[in-house]
């Protein structure tokens, strides 16, 4: 005849599977809700779109600056552009003069 198990022995036998289930539930929760989980993909897409816009803006600004540097190259300085740049930056434009920025 088998003796019925006591509550204490049942609880002792259930501790290891319970801990294993809690660990699995923890990993599953982080896989869904965590910072790198499935629900974070929308934020990644939104951030990627914002960064793509910033990159396009910065590349356009970089191209503009590269063009200005090429115009100020010592081997072939455009005197009109250099004069315009110096006058605009130092505020030495006369009352009867107009500086029209071409950018």
* Lowest-confidence pick of 16-20, 45-49, 66-70, 83-87: 83-87
Q: What is the pLDDT of residues 85-96, one digit of tens each?
A: 777 788 777 777
* Secondary structure class of 3 (helix, strand, coil): coil
Q: How do residues 55-67 score in pLDDT, each as one tens digit?
A: 999 999 999 988 8
At 68, the pLDDT band (50, 70, 90 cuts) reads: confident
Residues whose CB is less than 8 angstroms from the CB of residue 86 and which lie 6 or more positions away in sequence, other chains included: 92
Give the C-alpha distances (Å, rounded to integers) separating 60 from 9, 55, 64, 65, 71.
72, 9, 6, 9, 17
What average pLDDT does the structure give for the chain? 84
Give this prediction's pTM.
0.46
DSSP-derived secondary structure letter, 6: P
pLDDT in tens, 21-48: 999 999 999 989 888 888 888 888 999 9
């Amino acid at each position: 005849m088998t003796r019925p198990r006591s509550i204490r022995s049942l609880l002792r036998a259930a501790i290891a599977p319970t801990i294993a289930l809690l660990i699995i539930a923890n990993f599953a929760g982080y896989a869904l809700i965590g910072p790198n989980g499935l629900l974070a993909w929308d934020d990644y897409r939104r951030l990627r779109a914002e960064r793509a816009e910033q990159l396009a803006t910065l590349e356009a600004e970089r191209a503009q600056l590269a063009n200005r540097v090429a115009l100020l190259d010592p081997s072939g300085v455009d005197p009109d552009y250099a004069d315009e740049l110096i006058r605009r930056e130092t505020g030495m434009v006369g009352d009867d003069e107009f500086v029209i920025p071409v950018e």
